[in-house]
Structure 1
Amino acid sequence: MRTIGHFIGGKEVKGTSGRFGDVFEPMTGEVQAQVALATKAEVRSAVENAKAAQEAWANTNPQRRARVMMKFLELVQRDYDKLADILAREHGKTVPDAKGDIQRGLEVVEFACGIPHLMKGEYTEGAGPGIDIYSMRQALGVVAGITPFNFPAMIPMWKFAPAIACGNAFILKPSERDPGVPMALAALMMEAGLPAGILNVVNGDKEAVDAILDDPDIKAVGFVGSSPIAQYIYERAAQTNKRAQCFGGAKNHAIIMPDADMDQTVDALIGAGYGSAGERCMAISVAVPVGKTTADRLMEKLIPRVESLKIGPSTDPSADFGPLVTKAALDRVKDYVEIGIKEGAKLAVDGRGFKMQGYEKGFYLGGSLFDNVTKDMRIYKEEIFGPVLSVVRAHDYHEALALPSDHDY
């Protein structure tokens, strides 16, 4: 069984905790690796290593730091297909989706290449009688990112590229469900010329997260994940005087007006609602047609499109989406479909019976579509995070507009 450790001091190191998490291959349902789960002491070791390297990196001029980013872009392009394959096999999204995941991260790395200009301060002469004002932008020191399973390339790069370009050292705690790509990205940063210790990857669960939040040498933390965990991290980071940027969940609405091009609308809903098996915080999970005629036209075109969605292995280039990330995620979404039925919503398309021939143990689920969903239902109020679209019928524009405005999300 392949084991995945941590990336500290410029190289992969074995975990010492004796605790491991399973890394599945969602399309087969089999365990493909075990990832080490760090202790508080291991996190502390990574922070000390980063702290020792950070000062020299911050004193490196921004042009040279930008060149590391430029070389990193070149190396990721070289290994694009390999990275996409690792990502698809660990997460479950299709290879084209995986390539998009990587590309969206690279776009932020490209932005970070402009750091010599972005780091410039400002100067104001004569702001007051005998007063001139100037500002300087300086690195904080050691900072951290805690990133989710659903974009294991994009979100780590969103976090570490600007932070490192600014002269910080970075501790990355990726999701333990799909750690392969974050580990590979750290190795590529080293190959690009990043000094050892400036990007350390610590794999782990809540123990590692709490160690990051409580460590006095970590000055800032960025997080993307569920709303309850975002609130927990923000509160705990505030207790230790850390800067915190926490992005939580979402329940995104699409309001469909009577004059909408229905073919174009359905195309958009299929991509936004079911792409990557709905495991996106920006997925459209609620469609709000305005008026009965609009709703009936929408359902007439939407039902056959959902029924014809092609679900396949992550390596199938023709698949619309692949499996969910874990069996627990699959069961959770199935439970929500059952909840919706019990609450009185009309299940227009039921994807629960889908079976992938030759991949019977994989975490597959067909697309599901609810009609006549109301705002008091759990399937409307809570984030499902799966291939389930809810249609909430509004009588007029004002009722439709009030729905997302009044929602907890």
Structure 2
Amino acid sequence: MTRTIPHFVGGSLLTPDSGRFADVFDPSTGSVQARVPLASADEVRRVIADAEAAQPGWAATNPQKRARVLMRFLDLVHRDMDDLARLLSSEHGKTFEDAKGDIQRGLDVIEFATGAPHLLKGEYSTEAGTGIDVYSLRQPLGVVAGITPFNFPAMIPLWKAGPAIAAGNAFVLKPSERDPSVPVRLAELFLEAGLPAGILNVVHGDKEAVDVLLEDERVKAIGFVGSTPIAEYIYATAAAHGKRAQCFGGAKNHLVVMPDADLGQVVDALIGSGYGSAGERCMAISVAVPVGDETADALAAKLTERVAQLRIGPSLADGIDYGPLVTRAAVDRVTDCIQQGVDAGATLLADGRGLVVEGYEEGFYLGPTLFDHVTTDMSIYREEIFGPVLVIARARDYEEALAIASDHEYGNGVGIFTRDGDAARDFAARVNVGMVGVNVPIPVPLGYYTFGGWKRSGFGDLNQHGPDSFRFYTKTKTVTSRWPASPLRSVAEPVEAGASFVMPTTR
């Protein structure tokens, strides 16, 4: 009998009652391994109610004690790391080591969030006026929610939930229905670490569940990662209902290759960042921009040679470079994108379509694909493919390369490989992209900096993790305080009597 993945609500695994389910596949074999419930609107409202009831007590808990729960959670995840990684791999399709990286990058933000006692400190000014002190407080919003994607089923839920919980909020997570087991297991580990019941809840669902989170006035903020059309919808709908929102969408990340770059390093970078996790990363490098035909010809030759050596197989097998895509629909969509590139006249150097892995013939596999002579009007350049497809878009000179990277509608991540410090410095200052790597292929900032793209890659004023996450999940209260002079003090000055009708100033 196919197992059912439960909701996690109020500290307990909850049997669904909506009667609606979606299949969860094993991408390596193509078989259905579980089913996940799709919550009804009433079920989501009950989850919100549980979170709302639990939140005041958690908010009143000393920030240091909240941080200690996160510290215990870190130990528990490290204890169970291998089991979590295997579970993640079995539903997503990424390799075992890549799955552990997914979890660890989430833990990096949990580690940062243990600094909540410091990060929640306000400001204080004494004698802002005669006998007047002004200070600020950072207070939690209440109930907040996160809607997270399939491609990082551990990392992004932890990026969202960690700072929110550390700041004193209750959190409702709606993970992807494609690989929902790890988020539930992480919620159980938080409970084991001492998090009160109802502070972290996991509810599975589709648009019906999402719309309740967007429209219910008890939910004060929404964090989202996914495609740009959905990010726009969630951002606009949340704003229309008076909520804060940080929504991160699609990407088309470029890597500019200068003529002086070490091509060995460049090829390693492009192979790993372009094809790792089957290209299902929002920070994957999907466009190489070599400067000059000589650089481009040499790069294309080296990439073609390396692509032919890549090993693809089931996610938990030893010695593979990447595993299957998450669903058959994902394979079909990427296959269609490849055909569009062929039809548009791009040079197909490696064709990954039709890959069959012996013994896993029904798995969701796609081989590495490489295009050259791609122009900026082609769909394979304009659109996020989200698969193991790398394209080469040649630039005549540095300025054209800078323009190619800057002019795309997405502005998530970009990199430059060069030995020239002046070129790197100029590029980092001028490129119109939110995250920049210099001789670094995947410029994901560390947990104590913020993560966020520009243009149609990100919607909202504040980014994920780093100090922005605590700003997003808290509201600032500013107190202006004046105490009359005490008659017990011999130096007390008399208090002026009478009302003032003048706007107070410090002059």
- Superposed pair shares fold, TM > 0.5: yes
Instruction: Provide the secondary structure at the position in 2 that maps to 1:136.
Output: strand
1:34 matched to which residue of 2? Answer: 35
| Structure 2 letter corresponding to 1:3 | T
Deviation at 1:353, TM superposition (A): 2.6
1:224 matched to which residue of 2? Answer: 225
* 2:78 counterpart of 1:77: yes
Q: How does 1:96-175 map to 2 (within 5 A)?
A: 96-127=97-128, 132-175=133-176
* 2:242 counterpart of 1:209: no
1:274 matched to which residue of 2? Answer: 275
Distance 2:128 2:173 in 1: 41
Instruction: Provide the secondary structure at the position in 2 that maps to 1:353.
Output: coil
TM-score by length of 2: 0.80
Distance 1:166 1:46 in 2: 20
Deviation at 1:127, TM superposition (A): 4.2
1:401 matched to which residue of 2? Answer: 402
TM-score by length of 1: 0.99
| Structure 1 letter corresponding to 2:272 | G
Are 1:256 and 1:288, in contact at CA under 8 Å, matched by a contact in 2? Answer: yes
Identity %: 67
1:14 matched to which residue of 2? Answer: 15
Deviation at 1:145, TM superposition (A): 0.3
Q: How does 1:8-407 map to 2 (within 5 A)?
A: 8-127=9-128, 132-407=133-408
| Structure 2: gaps spanning 5 or more residues | 411-507
Instruction: Answer 1 or 2: which has greater helix percent.
Output: 1
Q: Write out per-residue CA displacement over residues 105-131 of structure 1, whole angstroms, 9 at most, x where no aligned residue.
A: 001111111111111111123446665
Deviation at 1:312, TM superposition (A): 1.1
Q: Write out per-residue CA displacement over residues 335-381 of structure 1, whole angstroms, 9 at most, x where no aligned residue.
A: 00000000110110001131100000000000000000000000000
Distance 1:307 1:124 in 2: 64
| Structure 2 letter corresponding to 1:8 | V
Q: CA RMSD in A?
A: 0.9
Are 1:62 and 1:166, in contact at CA under 8 Å, matched by a contact in 2? Answer: yes
Are 1:333 and 1:385, in contact at CA under 8 Å, matched by a contact in 2? Answer: yes
Distance 2:269 2:65 in 1: 42
Deviation at 1:393, TM superposition (A): 0.8
Which one has the largest radius of gyration? 2
Are 1:145 and 1:170, in contact at CA under 8 Å, matched by a contact in 2? Answer: yes
Q: Write out per-residue CA displacement over residues 66-101 of structure 1, whole angstroms, 9 at most, x where no aligned residue.
A: 111011011101110000000000000000000000
| Structure 1 letter corresponding to 2:354 | G
| Structure 2 letter corresponding to 1:404 | A
Distance 1:7 1:272 in 2: 34
Q: Write out per-residue CA displacement over residues 153-206 of structure 1, whole angstroms, 9 at most, x where no aligned residue.
A: 000000111101111000000000000000000000111111110001000011
Instruction: Provide the secondary structure at the position in 1 that maps to 2:286.
Output: strand
Q: Write out per-residue CA displacement over residues 307-335 of structure 1, whole angstroms, 9 at most, x where no aligned residue.
A: 11111110023111000000000100000
Are 1:252 and 1:284, in contact at CA under 8 Å, matched by a contact in 2? Answer: yes
Q: Write out per-residue CA displacement over residues 36-81 of structure 1, whole angstroms, 9 at most, x where no aligned residue.
A: 0001100000000010010011011111111110110111011100
| Structure 2 letter corresponding to 1:200 | N
Are 1:96 and 1:317, in contact at CA under 8 Å, matched by a contact in 2? Answer: no
| Structure 1 letter corresponding to 2:353 | R
Q: Write out per-residue CA displacement over residues 243-271 of structure 1, whole angstroms, 9 at most, x where no aligned residue.
A: 10111111000000111101110000001
Instruction: Provide the secondary structure at the position in 2 that maps to 1:241.
Output: coil
| Structure 1: gaps spanning 5 or more residues | none
